Chain A
Amino acid sequence: MLSIKDLHASINGKEILKGLSLEMGAGEVHAIMGPNGSGKSTLSKVLAGREEYEVTSGTVTYKGENLLDMSPEERAHQGIFMAFQYPVELPGVNNTYFMQASLNAIRKARGEPELNSLNFMKLVRTKLKALEMNEALLKRSVNTGFSGGEMKRNEILQMTLLEPSLAILDETDSGLDIDALKMVSMGVNSLRSPERSMLVITHYQRLLDYIQPDYVHVLSGGRIIRSGDKSLALELEEKGYGWLQQEAAA
């Protein structure tokens, strides 16, 4: 699905990712953990195609193609979805309209027929129901005046609508209360399938109680310094990152 080799990326001349490598197979859920400033968010933004980040060396192959050659929208058309850490407000843009435009842009790029408003509403209602969300969110402007929890729920709603092949969750759990966390996890778990991979970036082990990862990686200083299974997350919870960083430095 995704193969990252020796990736170096910088912003404003400052190198953040310093030789990151990661292999993700189809159907796998990988968790990336790490202290603040380790490059977690940079990794998600580079994968989604944010242009401010300059990839200075290394390769990223997605479904056998060079991901770095694609524009952000092409990546979306190819099935990459990123749930934003800080979703962006679009004042005056109706949420339903936005999601329909998004789904149809992706369907169109894939040569699939676009959904009319009626069929789209049917679809969005089933997704809402599955996530136990209420419809009020649909009538509002995209993320405008949303609470932190509402924004994250809205991200998950979009994810379940777009059914990506590679979902990147950028600290989706940060700032969530336990109910919202459960809801987010429910959305993520409902999408787990043998064809779909997920990259869950998180600061806390807490999320991984609900989303059971196949692999856990520790990111520090722009590189993955340790990989393991979910027991690694528990170990981190107990001991913190310090011992790993010391080991890596040694």
Chain B
Amino acid sequence: MSVLIECRGLTREYRKGGQVIRPLDGLDLAVPRGDFLALMGPSGSGKTTLLNLIAGIDSPTRGELIVDGADIGTLSRRRLAAWRARHVGYVFQLYNLVPVLTAYENVELPLLLHPLTRRQKHDRVVTALERVGIADRRGHFPSQLSGGQEQRVAIARAIVTDPAVIVADEPTGDLDKASARAVMELLRELNRESGKTVIMVTHDPKTTEYASRTLHLEEGRLAGGSAVGGVMA
């Protein structure tokens, strides 16, 4: 299985009040295509920072980050934005749906960045909404949906562009048990049936049961060393 994501000596530093904070410190990691990786660790361990770097919404201070063949750490802000639009689907803990847009329009939003015809966009949105089982709510606004339904719409938005990788930041953190289970099953289906690579940050050990493997981070490093090729080294 080919490697989709490769981190070499990945470091992210911030300056805060004269102090250097290093949420990620020389991390090495390889994620094969089609993997479902759960990232766990205490607060401040660097898991969300790693997720954001892989999603291209943050840039590393040092090290290499190759995603689907592109060294995204070297891309300009504008190129990185274009790269995100093509390669990444992001699922947020708080869904982040636009309240003034319907479920359909929310899912259509990322497609506005793609040169598709109106018909193609429509087909893709409908397919994505059907894929997450919420097509009958397409005309509803977020305020008219339950939390679980909102997260399904958010997942539809994440997959509508057919990205190589789906990143999910505590996707069940704001859901009740039943909705959380449904969302995790959906992510597993997307991983197993559609071959999507899923990287998920979670605090909930139960959700890791849906992942193909789980990595623990502590102080910006993988607990117990590095993980290359899916095997703890």
Query: Is B truly associated with A?
Result: no
